[in-house]
Amino acid sequence: MNNTVEYVPEPKLAYALVFGFIMALGLLLNAMSLWTFLRHHSLKSPSTVFMVNLVISDLLFVFSLPMRVYFYATGTWPLGPFACVCTEMLFRNNIRSSSIFITFICVDRLLAVVYPLRSRHLRTSSNASKAAALVWLFVLAVNVPESVNMTRFLNNYNISSCFVFSRYQATYPYRSANTIFQFVLVLIMLAVNVVSTALVSWSLHKYLNDSARVNNTVNVMLIFVMSLVMFIICFLPVSVAVLKGWRHAMMPSICLASVNCCLDPLLYYFSLDAFWKKKEDADLARSAS
């Protein structure tokens, strides 16, 4: 027996405008960030490796936004199930990979501040590249069963529209495992960021002298504050909304999650502050003496 879901979406120009603005700003900022990394920063530091991978994750998501803009502007989806699944997976992948790469950046900064000498053999570009490759393999491994199940869902229910999965969460059990997985992943990454923020804050106030504290602590802590903001505002609300099946909160939380591709360049700015090079040079000088 073939089930048919009667759902005819209406154009939602407000969402089309939101995604259009995010697309334009995200493309500009991330393209500039990638150009800056490749032009002025070599991939010799672990944080730069993680940030380049974060830029790639954001750009992949930004490239999928024109399809969302078209869908919400016209209320039609002429591209079929495959394009719908790809677009949806790029959004989910961005949340997952971004949350992991942001956490890696914060852990790298934690090691640089709290354990600058003992962590030198860990904080290498080679280890960072291996970790980034594992992240992408992990994301792709999750994609395979999720994409198959999502395609099966669209075909079984004859859904001609896209981005309507949340409406039928209760009738399709496989989504429970996926939504729980994403919620747990975001929660674990958030916990790591909270602990890293607390340890770095304690270390800076304990070891930096007063003048350094005034000039550098703000710059350092802004990295961790930006990370927590992105988790609390961008990643956590959409994970909770999907997990709980809150339909009315779904689209606002998706819009908030999409904003993370525009906020990440601020993280790059604070992470590449000259303070880090000065501090590491000072640590090396102390160890040599």
Using CA atoms, how far residue 5 sits from 135, 165, 180, 230, 249, in Å, is 36, 11, 25, 35, 22
CB distance 287 to 52 below 8 Å? no
Q: Among 93-102, 181-190, 203-212, whose mean pLDDT is lowest?
A: 203-212
CATH of domain 13-282: 1.20.1070.10
**Hey, how many other C-beta atoms are within 10 angstroms of the C-beta on 98?**
25
Extended strands (E) in the chain: none
3-state secondary structure of 2: coil
User: Tokens 């969302």 belong to which residue?
Assistant: 68
**Hey, how many other C-beta atoms are within 10 angstroms of the C-beta on 278?**
12
pLDDT of 145-186, one tens digit each?
Answer: 888 878 877 776 655 567 765 554 444 544 567 788 889 999
CB distance 77 to 162 below 8 Å? yes
pLDDT of 103-159, one tens digit each?
Answer: 999 999 899 888 888 888 888 999 999 999 999 999 999 888 888 878 877 776 655
Domain boundaries defined on the chain: 13-282
